[in-house]
Amino acid sequence: MYSAMTAGGTRLDRNKFRDVLHNTFDMTDDILMDRVFRAFDKDMDSFLSQEEWVLGLSVFLKGTLEERVAYCFDVYDMNSDGYISREEMFQMLKNSMVKQTTEEDPDEGI
């Protein structure tokens, strides 16, 4: 699967990763997809190696409870300071909590 996504290359870029999340897991939230990418990208080079892909999917799909909690914490801790602030929680949850219409301010419903 990894080889097909990278077209024989050695690294997976952010756009292809987002396509996989959208097409395979029905993820549509841009912020969430970006944060999941960052949680997978352990060396922070903006690409996923095959090892990062396999390790990330392993935790994402079959990780222990502790591994999944640590993974979710990494996703929600947007500034990597070791804490999840109210603002970080708001940013991660606002798209799932508010049905936005074109006439309303998205922050107004929260």
In tens, the pLDDT along 63-102 reads 999 999 999 999 999 998 999 999 999 988 887 665 555 5
- State both tokens at 64: 């222990």
- Residue 28 has a pLDDT of 85
- Angle (CA) 88 90 93, round 5°: 110
Q: Inform me whether the pLDDT recorded for 103 exceeds 80.
A: no
Task: Tell me the whole-structure pTM to 2 decimals.
Answer: 0.75
- Residue 33 CA neighbour count, 13 Å, CB half: 18
